């Protein structure tokens, strides 16, 4: 068990350092800024590389909503959800701490910009309402967990799950950075909020509630409607022999 928790800690650390680091350090860098597309790719790449490096040890969740979703989908024991979540949150906070040390080494650094924190309403990057942000986080997390459950099923092509999951997270960021700065991961939201304080901490509850709901709903839907269907012969579109 310690190796699994360590893998979840390190994977979430890498996610926050790589993803949030790209937003804080490189997104608007003078003349060479990577912008929304670069940040979206950075989050996708951190998950993709983390899954291939650490997934064989812990499953590569790196996200409380994923752990809850996998439990709801019957793929993960409930007894490990809380320890996994604890390791993920600690990893996220340490990752944000390392990022803070790096970012604060530049003259004029300030936390006033939010330090890649997630927000709704006045603190949504695009000024989206609380309802819009809630729907966005719930639906995006729902689809993320659906992709994870489908791409890791024993009937899915072996060895490609990390690519599908990383690309899904990239797509999710391309859609939702303007809305909430994209959470779909309560640990990722917690790390930067601890350092940003103020409004980021005040709104943090939101980025626990809706991603967790989205993940749990995805697990329940997949288990109810798709898991049993995957036990049946696949529909190939080709006629059966002798037909």
- Closest alpha carbon to 192 in 142, 104, 109, 118: 118
- pLDDT band for 232, please (50, 70, 90 cuts): low
Helix (H, G, I), strand (E, B) or coil at 127: coil
Cβ atoms within 10 Å, residue 204: 21
Pair 214, 145: CB distance under 8 Å? yes
Q: Stretch 163-188: mean pLDDT, rounded?
A: 97
Indicate the range of 27-31, 47-51, 173-177, 195-199 predicted with least confidence.
27-31
pLDDT at 113: 87
Q: Stretch 216-221: mean pLDDT, rounded?
A: 97
Q: Stretch 42-55: mean pLDDT, rounded?
A: 97
pLDDT in tens, 102-154: 999 999 899 988 999 999 999 999 999 999 999 999 999 999 999 999 999 98
pLDDT at 1: 82
CA distances from 152 to 48, 51, 71, 202 (A): 13, 11, 14, 36
Domain ranges of the chain: 2-106+115-230
Percentage of the residues of the chain whose pLDDT score is greater than 70: 93
Compute the distance between CA of residue 61 and CA of residue 67 in angstroms, rounded to an integer: 6
* pLDDT at residue 241 is higher than 60: no
CA distances from 151 to 84, 121, 229 (A): 21, 34, 15
- pLDDT band for 156, please (50, 70, 90 cuts): confident
Handedness of CA 194, 199, 202, 207 (dihedral sign): negative
Write down the mean pLDDT value for the chain.
Answer: 93
- pLDDT band for 77, please (50, 70, 90 cuts): very high
- The third-level CATH classification (topology) of the domain covering 2-106+115-230 is Glycerol uptake facilitator protein (1.20.1080)
pLDDT in tens, 14-36: 999 999 999 999 988 767 788 99
The tokens for 204 are 């943090």
- Closest alpha carbon to 123 in 133, 135, 109: 133
- Show the 3-state SS of 129-148: CHHHHHHHHHHHHHHHHHHH
Pair 183, 139: CB distance under 8 Å? no
pLDDT at 155: 84
pLDDT in tens, 129-139: 999 999 999 99
pTM: 0.92
Percentage of the residues of the chain whose pLDDT score is greater than 90: 84
Compute the distance between CA of residue 90 and CA of residue 191 in angstroms, rounded to an integer: 8
pLDDT at 223: 94
């Amino acid at each position: 068990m310690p190796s699994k928790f360590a893998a979840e800690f390190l994977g979430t650390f890498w996610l926050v350092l790589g993803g949030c680091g790209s937003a804080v350090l490189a997104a608007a860098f003078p003349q060479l800024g990577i912008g929304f597309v670069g940040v979206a790719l950075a989050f996708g790449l951190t998950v993709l590389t983390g899954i291939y490096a650490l997934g064989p040890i812990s499953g590569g969740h790196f996200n409380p909503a994923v752990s809850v979703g996998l439990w709801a989908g019957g793929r993960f024991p409930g007894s490990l959800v809380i320890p996994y979540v604890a390791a993920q949150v600690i990893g996220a906070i340490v990752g944000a701490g390392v990022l803070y040390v790096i970012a604060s080494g530049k003259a004029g650094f300030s936390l006033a910009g939010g330090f890649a924190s997630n927000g709704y309403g006045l603190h949504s990057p695009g000024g989206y309402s609380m309802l819009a942000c809630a729907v966005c986080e719930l639906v995006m997390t729902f689809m993320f967990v659906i992709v994870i459950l489908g791409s890791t099923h024993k009937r899915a092509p072996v060895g490609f799950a990390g690519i599908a999951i990383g690309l899904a997270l990239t797509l999710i960021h391309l859609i939702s950075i303007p809305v909430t700065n994209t959470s779909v991961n309560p640990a990722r939201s917690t790390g930067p909020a601890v350092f940003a304080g103020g409004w980021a901490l005040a709104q943090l509850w939101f980025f626990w509630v809706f991603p967790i709901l989205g993940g749990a709903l995805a697990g329940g839907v997949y288990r109810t409607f798709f898991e049993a269907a995957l036990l049946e012969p696949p529909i190939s579109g080709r006629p059966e022999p002798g037909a």
